[in-house]
Structures are given as structure tokens and as C-alpha cells.
Structure 1
Amino acid sequence: MSSSATGTPSPYYVPQPSRHPAFASFGLLFIIFGAANWINDADWGKYLVLFGMLWLFWVLFQWFRDAARESESGQYSRKIDLSFRWSMSWFIFSEVMFFGAFFTALWWMRAHSVPALGGIDNAILWPDFKAVWPSIAPGTTASPAGIIEPFQVMTPFWLPTINTALLLTSGVTLTIAHHALRAGHRGTTVLWMWVTVLLGLAFALVQGYEYYHAYTGMNLKLSSGAYGSTFFMLTGFHGFHVIIGMLMLLFITLRLMNGHFTADRHFGFEGAAWYWHFVDVVWLFLYTLVYWL
């Protein structure tokens, strides 16, 4: 903790130089280099990706542990807490823009790109193409050039609806845990946090089965035209965010079990909760625009 000339403790904590950023970059280098060679048919690339991920997780574990120790030792003041809140707010705002770009791409394809391809100026080149969304319908073709295999369209019943119920329920259980923490009931908080983590895990497993069914039973793939690419792009990125959020909640739960956080000071919990509720809201938009419309 830095101090002023008068000996009064500074409200800003200045950490010691850390090896963690350099070590994390080292792991990311292995992941990117290995992935680049893996997709170019170098079989050894996947082992390099695995090594890089294990290295990165090891670094992140130590990094998070050090940050938790700093917090629990009382080195974070109210001003630091405020800076964390602003940082998390801007991070979630960047995530809103991230998904906003993908939703805009979906709208542009449905409202502009596909209708333009079905216009009269393209009728001579592609007489069998019909401007419909999803980009396949009886008696029409989704691929004038014949490069896209026939596929089935994903409907909201029943796996997506089950996942919606799981995610919304997890938002409720997380809110119950938050109220229990503010009331000082640590045991109740831990219980409902574990329920929330398990609901998040169930969502990821159901979506994994949905992808398996799409590929094997419906022939719906990432290469299935504009519909397939946008479907997997939106649901896949959201599923990735669910996994990240679930890990955040898992770490918070483990910290709660170790006696971390109090009824008055628990922004680590709140930051993870903000992120999880953001994931819930994005899913509601995705569930409506992708599965229903």
C-alpha cells in the first residue's frame, strides 16, 4: 500500500511487478501458433494448443489467487471498489456491442441481403432461388450453385425452450444467493450458488447435445448457408459466454466456502452476477430472434 508524505495511507493500492501477464502471453502464443498449424493439417498443432491452454489455466489460477489474497488482506479501498465497478460496467458494455454486431448482421441478412438476392435482377442467374428465411423451403433451393446440402431448420421445441427455462431459473437462484449473502447467511448463499453453477452446466450440456443432433440428425452445419452460419455463430458465442460465466460463479462459490466476502463487501460476487444476468438477457433476444422468427 502506497502512502502519502504525511504518512496517511493512499486510497490506491499499487501492486508489485507481476510475472502473470508475461506468462499468460506465453500461453496464448502456444495456443495461437498451435491452432494455426492444426487447421493447416499439422497434427502436432492440437497438442501445442492443449499445452498452451493448460499453461494459461495454471497462470490464471495463480493470478486469481493472488488477487483474492490482496482483496482479503484489506488492500482494496472504496476507491478501488469503485474502479472495479466501472471496469466491469464498461466490460459488459463492450459485450453488448459484441452481440449487437452479430444481431445486426442477422437482421441485415434477413432484411436486405437475402431479399436482394431474390430480386428480379438476379432472377435470370438464379431462377430457382427464393428469398425466404430460413434459407430453405419446400420447392426452393438455398444454394443456386448447388454447394449447400439440404438441411432442417432448428425449432424452439424442445431443447432451446428447456435451456431457456434453465437459464432463467439460474438467474432466480443467483438472486436468492445474493440476498442471502447480504443477510449474512453464508451457508444458504453457498447452497444456492452451487444450484446456479449446476444449472449453468446443464445449459452447456443441453446445448452440446443440440449441436450433436443438428449435425447428425438435421444436417445443419456451420456451412449450411447464411442460416447455418448465423445460427452457430450466435448460439456458439453465447454458449462460450455461458461457460465463462459458469466458471466465474464456480470460483466465487469456492471463495465463499473459504470464508471470503462479507455482507457489505462482496463486489467479486456482484461482478459475476452482473455478467450472468447479462448472459440471461442476451439469451432471451437470441431465443426469440433465432429460434422463433
Structure 2
Amino acid sequence: MATCTSAISACWTGASRPSTRWNLDEALATIDTGYDLAFLLMDLDHRVGRPAANRVLNRYVARSGDAGLVAALPLWLSLRAMIRAHALAKAKGVAQGLPYLGLAEAMLAPPPPRLVAVGGLQGTGKSRLARALAPSLGAAPGALVLRSDEIRKRLAGLAPEERLPSAAYAREASAAVFAELAALAAEALRGGHAVIADAAFLRPEERAAIEAARGNAPFQGFWLEAPIAVLRARVEARRGDASDADAAVLAAAAARDPGPVGWQRLDAAADPIPAARRALGLNPDDP
């Protein structure tokens, strides 16, 4: 590195001891990607705010499928905060490191997990609601949002914004997507992390499967509803979204009978976020 002193450079390259061979242990040099990610999540949580950290976590899991990393997040986030506290205390004084020290302690006492499911027709704003609720739920940096549209793209080897052919939405393919959604939700909940499942859930068996994934965690289901004209306008206005649904897909879904829905119904023509926050025991006025 250009900024190294000659002494540091010599030590690193072994130049000061020509006979020495540097044998690096590959196992010791390899760490879980989640531990690296935790440094970014911790800093975003502290410096920018939990919504930013939550969005990064969920984007990473949407692309990787690594929902299991959340089980170790409390420890990893605490370690990263401790490192930041130590560095600041050494460089700028103990007082500068104290906020991170408090953060490190708080990360080791996460709240218990819970499962929230958000269902309804295309265009009802399920993803908007899920993303709005996620930062306020569960352990840092907030709930893991598992979106069926993103899972479908990942299983097909595509980025969330790439479009899929209609064959990818056949009954068998959709069953695989909902099975993966339930499996990832159960894995994250077992790891102690809150989950929001974001999907249409138009079939009774899909709703039953996500409810069964809860294990011992509390469950809350929301069913979003709005006039078909409102939904059509929203769907047609979408750009750069993980959903491939168009007006024809919406019309077909609206014609299907979803069966009895026991989840709490919310008016999606207005803003459902305050009502959902109240149902979850959150401050309805928080952003």
C-alpha cells in the first residue's frame, strides 16, 4: 500500500526476514458474509437510522436468500459496535465511544420475534406497508421482509427487477415460491428475528402455510383491500419493481375466490399504515 511506512511494508512482505514464508490459514481468513455486513448495518442504524439499515439487510437477503444470518446478528452487531467504541475512545477520548458502547449492550438484548403477513390483490400496497412496518419490529435492524416476488426472481436466478416469462407463474412454480417463503420465515423466526411475509396469499393453503411457519411466535395477518380501479391504476404505473403483474394478471386474480380470510382487513385505498401500526401495538404517528 502506498501509505505504508517502509518498516510496516517490510514486516508485511517479510522483507526484514528473507527466510520467512508467510503461511496464511485460509479457514481463519474466511468469515461469514453476515459479519462483514453487520458493520455496515450497525453504522447505518446508528448514524443514519434504522430504516436505512433495514432496507440494506432486506435487499441483501432478497438477492442471496441467506435468511439464516439474522440468528447471529445480535452478536455481530454488538461486536461491531464495540470495535467502533474502542476505536473512537482511543482516537478521540472515552466520551466519544460511549454511545457505541451503549449500542453494543442494547444489541445483546433483542426483543422476541413475531410474524406479520401482508396479503391482498396486486396494487394494494403490500410491499409499501411491509417496508414501513419493518424497522419498528423485532431485533435490530428491524424485521426481515420476505417478498414472494423477490423470492420468485431469486429462484429463477434473476435480479428482482428483471422480468420473468408467464411460465414462471404456473401453479407448480408458485407452490415452490410459497414453500420457500414459509421455510425462510420459519428459519428466521427460529433464529429470534421478526419477519414480515409479503405476498398475495390468494389461496387458503398459502395463508395456512405462512401461519404454520410462526412456531411459537405471535402472528398478525393483514388483508389489504381497495376498489379495482384504484388497483389497476397503481399496477399500470409501476416501474422498476419486482412484481411482473399487469392489468390482466390483476383482473384474473380479482376474479378468483380467495376463500374465507381471517386476517385483519385494512382499507388500502387510503393509508393503511397507521391502522396496521395500532394493531401491532406501535405508535401510529411514527414515520
Give the TM-score range, shorter chain: under 0.3
- Largest Rg, 1 or 2: 1
Q: TM-score normalised to the size of structure 1?
A: 0.20
Q: TM-score normalised to the size of structure 2?
A: 0.21
* Larger strand percent: 2
Higher-RCO chain (CA-CA 8 Å, sequence separation at least 6): 2
* Larger helix percent: 1
